[in-house]
Amino acid sequence: MDELPILPTTVIGSYPRPKWLREAIRLHKAGKVSDEELTEAFNDAALAVLHDHYLAGIDVPTDGEVKRDEMVEYFAERLGGFKFYGPVRVWGTAYYRKPAVVGKIEYKSPLLVDEFNYTKSVSYTPNVKITITGPYTIAYWSYNEYYKDMKDLVFDLAKIINKELHNLVDAGARIIQIDEPAIHSNKKDVSWAVEAVNEAVKGINAKLVVHICYGDYRIVAPYLNEFKVDQINFALKIYNYRYLELFKKYGYEKELGLGVIDVHSRRVESAEEVAKDIKNSLEYFPAEKIWINPDCGLKLLPRSIAFQKLVNMVKGTKMVREELKK
């Protein structure tokens, strides 16, 4: 990993897919675009996202996860033991193909190594981040029709994720983020769910990050220091930062990824607003321990808005860096 400025800027992972990629996927399903052509389209889309991140000035980019349809489905499709029924409605008119666990989870072949190798080969910085969905979230968003209890399923998934992380590190991954948006869904599960994440990252020599977003952080706050990772990033802007006080109360001591962009709103935060929010957070945690990121993935926003939000996020961060120099 190369040296980073103070208050490094990053993204959570996903970014809007270029419209033409959605069209290429549709044509591939219809048999009008070959596998090889689709791979090329995926790679070109990753390049386009990295270029947006470069133009915005992001210190630690991703490829926008443009090669993954969805954060659980992608993994369930590639592991043994899963089966898909029909789509379930998650909200409004949004549907999600919920996988079912029908046998012992098996690691068949690397999941993200090709994706990472391509991203690394075209990235403008070696400080590229690779994201993977965590064991609790994969299990929580699937039907369990095989394991006696959910805990057994989660720990089997943790072992498999650990194998994948070893392969990613061997391929050169230096910054790895485990996405666990569901980890605070059930109060009685949190303590062992954190243990499962620790099992997933066991022996992994990389900068390790956990992403936790929407929900009640009071459930997970007492356990945050138990994660064996370097950093946790959170959706905070949407809650007007009210959880910072809670993290401080529990003596949170890792790096904090500060969500300063509301990804559920099309309103573009100004650079001044971002700067003000960062400065307020400095009343709770030292600048040396803070990274700057959006609340969550930007996937569901129009691309032009997602881009402008990142541009202003970086501008606002640079304003604070200048002030810190004085």
- Chain positions contacting Zn ion, by CB under 5 A: 181, 213, 296
- The minimum distance between CB 127 and Zn ion, in angstroms, equals 21
| Of residues 133 and 281, the one with the C-beta less far from Zn ion | 133
3-state secondary structure of 170: helix
Distance, CA of 3 to CA of 1 (rounded, Å): 7
The nearer residue to Zn ion, 11 or 268, going by C-beta atoms, is 11
Handedness of CA 45, 51, 56, 60 (dihedral sign): positive
296 in a labelled binding site? yes
- C-beta of 204 vs 213, nearer to Zn ion: 213
Alpha carbon distance 13, 186 (integer Å): 24
Identify how many contiguous H helices and E strands the chain contains and give both numbers: 11, 9
* Least distance to Zn ion, CB of residue 179, Å: 7
Q: Which is nearer to Zn ion, 156 or 277 (CB)?
A: 277
CB of 149 to Zn ion, least distance (A): 26
Least spacing, CB of residue 227 vs Zn ion, in Å: 16
Residue 211 labeled ligand binder: yes
Does residue 278 contact residue 260 with C-beta atoms inside 8 Å?
yes
Residues contacting 82, CB < 8 A, separation 6+: 76, 99, 100, 101, 102, 105, 142
Taking the complex as a whole, the smallest distance from the CB of residue 272 to Zn ion amounts, in Å, to 25
Full strand arrangement of the beta sheet holding 94-107: 79-91, 94-107, 143-144
Residue 69, number of CB atoms within 10 A of its CB: 13
Nearest CB to Zn ion, comparing residues 146 and 241: 241
Q: Is 264 annotated as a binding residue?
A: no
Point out the annotated binding site: 211, 213, 296
Point out the annotated binding site for Zn(2+): 211, 213, 296
